């Protein structure tokens, strides 16, 4: 019985860790995309890109917090 609970907990932790890695990868891609757009924008819309990136970061941060709670 204890072994079953341990195995289930281990599977859940593994799944949560994989989800965290995927969320981190998505966050990294989003940040790189936003940074690339900001670097290519010579007329000052870098501020707008930064605001959009901040919103994306906040959203991703919330998602990561939820995943960490599962661990």
pLDDT of residue 1: 53
pTM: 0.54
Q: Is 34 exposed, middle or buried (0-12, 13-18, 19+ CB in 10 A)?
A: buried
pLDDT at 68 (0 to 100): 80
As a whole number, mean pLDDT of residues 44-62 equals 79
Predicted confidence (pLDDT) per residue in 7-45, tens digit? 988 899 899 889 888 988 988 898 888 778 777 776 666
- What's the rounded Cα separation, in Å, for the pair 26 and 22? 6
């Amino acid at each position: 019985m204890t072994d079953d609970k341990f195995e289930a907990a281990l599977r859940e932790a593994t799944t949560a860790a994989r989800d965290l890695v995927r969320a981190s990868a998505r966050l990294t891609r989003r940040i790189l995309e936003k940074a690339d757009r900001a670097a290519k924008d010579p007329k000052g819309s870098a501020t707008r890109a930064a605001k959009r990136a901040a919103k994306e970061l906040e959203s991703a941060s919330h998602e990561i917090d939820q995943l960490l709670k599962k661990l």
